[in-house]
Structure 1
Amino acid sequence: MINLPHDLMAQAIERRDLPLDALAARVGDELDTLARLSAEVQRALSMCHFAEHTDIEAIRGLQGIDRITQALEDLGRLMAAVSTEMPQDVKLHAVPLLSRLRLHELVNNLDPEQARHTAPVEEEVGDIQWF
């Protein structure tokens, strides 16, 4: 993947339109990817050892991850279905849509003319950097 500065990337997508059905399918794919990442976070947290007396509100908050995962899965399926029901001749201008996104990888993944970049399922052994 070529990393262009944001202004050059905007110029590259400025002069073209995005097919709405393909964009919707890409959004569905991205939601599915986020659901898998959320499930991985949930599994990782389940392997952590918490204090003997974990606050009930903290536990409820952690259970919210399951709700997020399920909602992302449902939204991914919905967008995939919506994309198959859309007329193929509907186009949207690329710049007003994709220029609102901050993550370059997300812009690339949502652009039907670009190859999708998927996060590896399991990272190789190495140092973990906490934010």
Structure 2
Amino acid sequence: MTVTSEFPGDTPEMVLAALLQEVATELASSAALAGSVQVALSRCRFSVPPDPETLTKLQGLDRISQSLDSVSRLMASLSACLPQDVMVATSALNADQRHNNLPQRITRSGRTESGESLSRPGDVAWL
């Protein structure tokens, strides 16, 4: 049975180790983003200092970035341990994804030949 991908230019399968490495890269990027948000929040000036409960909740950003970084390192380690002949169907990446371009980014179809993301830095979706 041939598995077809919903993404133009994608192959129906990819090496699982490569997929895990791409997931590791995505997690590392998210960890860096969480760290940047933490720095931005620390630079905010409030008219009234946040209460201790709010400050404790804001510490969650640090835990998020540390957890993302740890899971990223775990994925990279697992990727290095896997044989290169284990394949995964790229169509499986479409299931239950809320971030509409995540599958393209982790299968590298959302990147240029040099590996750069096709999304532009500074693109902001305001709530």
TM exceeding 0.5: yes
Whether the aligned pair in 2 keeps the contact of 1:18 and 1:112 (CA below 8 Å) is: no
- C-alpha distance in 2 between matches for 1:47 and 1:15: 44
Identify the match of residue 44 of structure 1 among 40, 45, 65.
40
Q: What does 1:93-108 align with in structure 2 at a 5 Å threshold?
A: 93-108=89-104
Please report how far the alpha carbon of residue 105 of structure 1 lies from its aligned counterpart in structure 2 after TM superposition: 2.7
- The list of structure 1 runs, each at least 4 consecutive aligned residues, that deviate by more than 3 angstroms after superposition, is 11-15
| Structure-1 residue corresponding to 2:64 | 68
**Which runs of no fewer than 5 residues in structure 1 stay unpaired?**
1-8
Aligned length: 119
Report the counterpart of residue 87 of structure 1 in structure 2: 83
- Aligned alpha-carbon RMSD (Å): 2.8
1:38-76 CA distance string (max 9 Å, x none):
011001000001243422111111010000011111111
Residues 96, 129 of structure 1: CA spacing in aligned structure 2 closer, same or farther, 3 A cutoff? closer
Deviation at 1:18, TM superposition (A): 2.1
Structure 2 residue aligned with 1:10: 6
Contact 2:93–2:103 (Cα < 8 Å) also in 1: no
Q: Where does structure 2 lack aligned partners over 5 or more consecutive residues?
A: none
Distance 1:109 1:23, change over 3 A: same
The percent of aligned pairs where both chains have the same amino acid is 33
Aligned pair in 2 of structure 1 residues 97, 66: CA closer, same or farther (>3 Å)? Answer: same
Code of the aligned partner of 1:65:
L
Question: Match for 2:104: what amino acid?
Answer: N
Paired residues for 1:115-126 under 5 Å: 115=111, 116=115, 117=117, 120=121, 123=122
If each structure's helix is expressed as a fraction of its own residues, which one has the higher value? 1
Match of 2:19 in 1: 23
AA matched with 1:55: D
Q: Quick check: 2:15–2:84 contact (8 Å CA) kept in 1?
A: yes
